[in-house]
Structure 1
């Protein structure tokens, strides 16, 4: 067990705050389009299919960038320069959406933005893993990936974006998004270390379920994909991204067009999603540190399947908001299959590669194809079809998760000790 080190603990907490802000603003920018859709539609016109394509193209370039950046990072042994460049570029390209005069211009801006944002998560989670105590690994990664996106993308974004759009217009709102990214990039450059103080100690205290690197030190993508947990996590990512992107893309439009909610009411309901995002973003992985990754993933995904159904069948906005808080549990699960389980499964020399592949394939299938299929289905039938597609994605995740091998350090050690005791008896 790595000994307690005050300086390492302080750095762990400081790094968590910085990466929390970095990934939070990624989702602030990513979510802005959904909340501005009705304003953009009034200016340049958008069909449901086009709205799905705008989400899909960002997911496509996000996926390709994540896979490329993860592999490049493991080859170079560097995370920090790639992270700084990604934060600066996604802020720049987000503001470029304000210059679009039609659908194709907006599509190009979103594609460039996704290409920059895709590198952020593999770099951030790799840095966080190496700086985290094993007992806090799940919690730290959940706060970084789940709660940050929920607080800034789910709570702050609908309030700030709708207010700015009402006050100064949707184009100026996009221009404002460049400011936080520049500030966060400067803080990362000043305070983040390429090699955290706890890295050497944690190398001797790797997660019990993690595999060791081959003698040559390098790990190929084929070797990473030979691991059952990685393959299952990749399939889960495809289905869970369908659940997530479909909900965030079409729920605002569903609430205003199908249910007749005013923009302010829609914003309030979407803020409830953000509250749930923050809550379950750290609670789910924190609980998984104690009960195990697999049972936490299965249980909270059962709840997540109910969320899009509540959008369809609950008409009262207050009740709907309460149910959103209780059932929008999926973003806490994202940390498990997209970061924590792979980090506890593969050797550290392949960590960014594994995270990039899982995120990339998930974004390609669930983030790129999912919303386009949901948009097409909505134009053919109604927006209700998109909600059914989201619920179906969560149901498939439950089935896939039954095949995972447990990796939570505390649970693995507890089971090992129990097996030893039974053998002695």
Structure 2
């Protein structure tokens, strides 16, 4: 059980806060490189045509199979972690394995081999987020919970997957070939795994108020059975939101680079620049949205920022100027900040700590199965029939459904609930 102290010397408090920041940095890098590797296929697809000649349906299948194995691994890893009471060994193994499997994509000579490599990569990557989220929630002060989770899940993926990846991956592909671009992905993963092994603790030092200690201590004594987790309204709503939001996200990251080069006629360099704007938005809203939700509430933040996210795929279809499109994407690609809310923060404020990894793995897993696996496959097949713009409209529809579902959530933000009780 986590050691929690309500009155401690300043030295212990400083240690707890230093550990919180150190853990945030390491998990930021770990999950960021998960998305660096996941995004690489989308950016390298135009360069792989000479060897594979991928159709839209096949590209969607490659994204879909990664999401499928990601989903299954996330659910299994979350359940296993709660049963064993261990997260660090699972996290280290996952980081090492996804790095190896990502680089293996560069060795494949056919579609079937590439499909197998992506499936194995998803199996490893799926375990990372539930472990990272549960470690971060436990080490975070209440006042920084939303911000920390936003930086970990949203901004990290945006910086490394949305800003660094398009520039680095496209440059390596242009200079040395797409296979080399896959090979180099092994290096940062192995370095991060070593840092996690050295500096991450299974249980962090925590400094909390007496009321927080009493509440979390009581909650930590109980674990919910899976059937009881599925009776919680917020968990069920978050699962449904995950299905629709993953459709929005995976469809966009899978087909936008191809849409910009093949339909709009952008050069690879211009496409990379536009996608970098998407990455800027990812970083910005990745921490801003959860941070704002700490003050105004999870529910209104999710509704408002998702309404903006509906406009992003529509702009991709109808805006022709690369500069204007990039600017619009910065202000409308707000969804990744919302991911932190329904995949981590709201569940963490809903379920007991002893069941948290299970709930997080379940929400992520169901969302990846429906939105991450089926979403891009259906979008790819539909695009082969009716054109690539169909994928963009499917993405917009997924975000619109999220807006409607969000009205059914119960508010969980501690600051908002305290204000309501004082009225």
Q: Is the TM value for this pair above 0.5?
A: yes
Task: Tell me whether 1:45 sits opposite 2:53 in the alignment.
Answer: yes
Separation of aligned partners in 2, 1:240 and 1:211: 33
CA RMSD of aligned residues (A): 1.7
| Corresponding residue number in structure 2 for 1:168 | 176
Q: Deviations over 1:226-285 (max 9, x none)?
A: 100000000000000000000000000000000000000000000000000000000000
Task: Tell me whether 1:363 sits opposite 2:371 in the alignment.
Answer: no
Separation of aligned partners in 1, 2:51 and 2:68: 26
What is the TM-score when the length of structure 2 is the normalising length? 0.96
Q: Please show how residues 361-400 of structure 1 align to structure 2 within 5 Å.
A: 361-400=366-405
| Corresponding residue number in structure 1 for 2:165 | 157
Contact 1:130 1:202 in 2 (8 A): no
Q: Deviations over 1:46-66 (max 9, x none)?
A: 000000000000000000000
| Corresponding residue number in structure 1 for 2:38 | 30
**Match of residue 80, structure 1, among 71, 88, 91:** 88
**What displacement does 1:306 show?**
0.2
| Corresponding residue number in structure 2 for 1:348 | 353
| Corresponding residue number in structure 2 for 1:270 | 275
Structure 1 stretches of 4+ with a deviation exceeding 6 A read none
Q: Deviations over 1:83-130 (max 9, x none)?
A: 000000000000010111111100000000000000000000000000
| Corresponding residue number in structure 2 for 1:7 | 15
Q: Deviations over 1:2-46 (max 9, x none)?
A: 667111001000000000000000000000000000111122210
Structure 1 unaligned regions, length at least 5:
419-425
**Match of residue 266, structure 2, among 236, 253, 261:** 261
**What displacement does 1:378 show?**
0.1
| Corresponding residue number in structure 1 for 2:108 | 100
Separation of aligned partners in 2, 1:172 and 1:2: 52
**What displacement does 1:325 show?**
0.2
Contact 1:284 1:333 in 2 (8 A): yes
DSSP-derived class of the 2:212 partner = coil
| Corresponding residue number in structure 2 for 1:288 | 293
Separation of aligned partners in 1, 2:190 and 2:379: 34
| Corresponding residue number in structure 1 for 2:312 | 307
Separation of aligned partners in 1, 2:50 and 2:275: 21
* Distance verdict in 2 for CA 1:204–1:321, change over 3 Å: same
DSSP-derived class of the 1:205 partner = helix
Matched pairs, number? 415
Separation of aligned partners in 1, 2:28 and 2:49: 32
**What displacement does 1:218 show?**
3.0
Contact 1:95 1:178 in 2 (8 A): yes
Structure 2 unaligned regions, length at least 5:
none
